[in-house]
């Protein structure tokens, strides 16, 4: 995205925040084992406001009366360090490339922030993050509070993520374009994997086909650890061991999405290992697919996730009664939450820079945030029927099915951004056999 987009976001944050200083640090490098580290990814809020991808960096926004100032702190260029870890942009180049009022080396952060906090009583930062920068801020604020000659200093801490995550709730056209590109790649990955899946393949081998396609097509990485759950493994919602063989006559549930430009996709498809649904599998699958299609059709501005949840639970319960999985009156079963045993999760979640975007679902009064144009969420009904559950018909035991798409709220309704990814029985069987 163009640097102007990030500057506009900073300006907007300055407008909605109260007078004070806001500090956002990027993520820190995470140790994988001993002296090796995971690939670095900037924290989402920091990247949302800066577009800056390097570690060891901080953004500061200052607001005092009519005055506004934005400052970026970056790792200075150190040739000895760059020999090992790669070239850095440095202070001068960052000043040229990014629209900040001032850019400094990160080593000067403590000195600079002390000067900026003088005569300010409100300090914004991520209150629930143990990042060393935020710990340092608390120490500095406490020291200033007890320092002679300092007349005013931060006495109030406020959570900056409350503002940034509210901003992130509505996606811009540029953000939606990146999600669309992530889904183009994810579609290729799912379709490619369907053609390679076969009896006897290990779950991790099918996982490799997805991740190979993500990288081949230019995705930054997978957006989360891919779930490849054959047979009864699908009844473990976050199954990531992926170490079992795929068996004849079973389904495989695959939850896989990539990240492009730091924006996520999140797609689940369930398909037959041998390429052909059995009559029983088809019956159950089509019921769940019908629920998903009806839920998506109901999405529009002014609606709510709570309404979709209740709608999906009602439809799935009706379906389970019709198939003999549950017995009784639908309304009574819903009241007793009998369906929760087989449909324990929500209908979906916000998605964006994070696959589970931490945007708010309700406002300060506890009222639910209603759907509005530009929001993106997943829709993912599913049923999970353990093989050892003797209360359900034997023919359904050991089957787990989830169908998940990524949906954009539009002016008058919604758009299924992932509608091109095969999900009808006919589409899936055709691709599996191609």
Give the pLDDT of residue 49.
98
Give the pair of three-digit tokens for residue 223. 């957006």
CATH number of 173-432: 3.90.230.10
pTM of the predicted model as reported, rounded to 2 decimal places: 0.96
Q: What is the 3-state secondary structure (H, E, C) of 347-392?
A: CCCECCCCCCCCCCCECCCCCECCCCCCCEEEECCEEEECCCCCCC
Give the pair of three-digit tokens for residue 410. 């539009």
Element (H, E) at 76: none
Asked whether the predicted pLDDT for residue 225 surpasses 80, the reply is yes
Positive or negative CA dihedral for 58, 59, 63, 64? positive
Within 8 A by CB and 6+ apart from 287, the residues are: 319, 322, 323
Give the pLDDT confidence of 131-158 residue by residue, as tens digits. 999 999 999 988 888 887 677 778 899 9
Give the pLDDT confidence of 340-368 residue by residue, as tens digits. 999 999 999 999 999 999 999 999 899 99
Give the pLDDT of residue 165.
97
Residue 50 CA to its chain's centroid (Å) = 19
Within 8 A by CB and 6+ apart from 146, the residues are: none
The bridge status of strand 20-25 relative to strand 122-125 is parallel
Give the pair of three-digit tokens for residue 275. 């390429």
CATH class for domain 3-167?
Answer: alpha beta
Q: What percent of the chain has pLDDT over 70?
A: 100
SS3 118: coil
Residues of the chain with CATH 3.40.350.10: 3-167
Query: For residue 348, what are the CA distances in angstroms to 222, 296, 356?
Result: 19, 11, 9
Which is nearest to 403 in space by CA: 428, 382, 430, 425? 382
Distance of alpha carbon 238 from alpha carbon 415, whole angstroms: 27
Distance of alpha carbon 178 from alpha carbon 393, whole angstroms: 44
Distance of alpha carbon 432 from alpha carbon 197, whole angstroms: 8
* Catalytic residue ranges: 35, 238, 255, 266, 345, 349, 356, 380, 384, 402, 404
Distance of alpha carbon 109 from alpha carbon 172, whole angstroms: 32
Q: What is the DSSP letter of 317?
A: H
The mean pLDDT value for 418-426 works out to 98
Within 8 A by CB and 6+ apart from 84, the residues are: none
Residue 360 CA to its chain's centroid (Å) = 13
Across the chain, mean pLDDT equals 96
Asked whether the predicted pLDDT for residue 20 surpasses 70, the reply is yes
């Amino acid at each position: 995205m163009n640097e102007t987009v990030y500057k506009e976001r900073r300006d907007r944050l300055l407008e909605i925040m109260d007078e004070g200083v806001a500090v956002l640090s990027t993520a820190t490098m995470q140790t994988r084992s001993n002296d090796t580290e995971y690939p670095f990814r900037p924290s989402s809020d920091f990247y949302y406001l800066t577009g800056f991808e390097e570690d060891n960096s901080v953004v500061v926004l200052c607001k005092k009366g009519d005055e506004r100032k934005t400052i970026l702190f970056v790792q200075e260029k150190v040739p000895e360090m760059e020999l090992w870890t790669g070239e850095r942009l440095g202070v001068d180049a960052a000043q040229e490339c990014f629209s900040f009022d001032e850019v400094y080396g990160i080593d000067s952060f403590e000195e600079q922030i002390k000067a900026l906090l003088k005569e300010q009583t409100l300090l914004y930062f991520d209150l629930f993050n143990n990042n060393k920068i935020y710990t340092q801020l608390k120490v500095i604020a406490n020291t200033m509070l007890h320092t002679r000659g300092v007349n005013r200093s931060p006495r109030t801490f406020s959570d900056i993520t409350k503002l940034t995550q509210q901003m992130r709730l509505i996606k811009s056209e540029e953000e939606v374009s990146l999600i669309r590109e992530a889904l183009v790649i994810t579609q290729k990955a799912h379709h490619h994997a369907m053609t390679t899946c076969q009896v006897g393949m290990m779950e991790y081998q099918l996982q490799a086909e997805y991740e190979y396609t993500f990288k081949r097509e230019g995705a930054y990485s997978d957006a989360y650890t891919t779930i490849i759950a054959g047979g009864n493994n699908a009844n473990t919602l976050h199954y990531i061991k992926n170490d079992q063989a795929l068996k004849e006559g079973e389904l495989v549930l695959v939850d896989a999405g990539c990240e492009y430009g730091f924006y996520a996709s999140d797609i689940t498809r369930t398909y037959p290992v041998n390429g052909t649904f059995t009559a029983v599998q088809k019956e159950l699958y089509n019921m769940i697919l019908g629920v998903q299609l009806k839920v998506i059709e109901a999405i529009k501005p002014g609606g709510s996730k709570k309404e979709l949840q209740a709608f999906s639970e009602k439809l799935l319960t009706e379906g389970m009664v019709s198939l003999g999985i549950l017995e009784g009156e639908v309304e009574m079963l819903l009241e007793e939450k009998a369906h929760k045993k087989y449909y324990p999760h929500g209908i979906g979640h916000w998605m964006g820079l994070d696959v589970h975007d931490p945007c708010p679902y309700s406002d300060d009064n506890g009222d639910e945030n209603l759907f509005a144009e530009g929001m993106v969420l997943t829709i993912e009904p599913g049923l999970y029927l353990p093989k050892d559950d003797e209360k359900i018909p034997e023919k359904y035991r050991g089957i787990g099915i989830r169908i998940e798409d990524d949906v954009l709220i539009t002016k008058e309704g919604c758009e299924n951004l992932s509608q091109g990814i095969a999900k009808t029985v006919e589409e899936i069987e055709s691709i599996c056999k191609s």
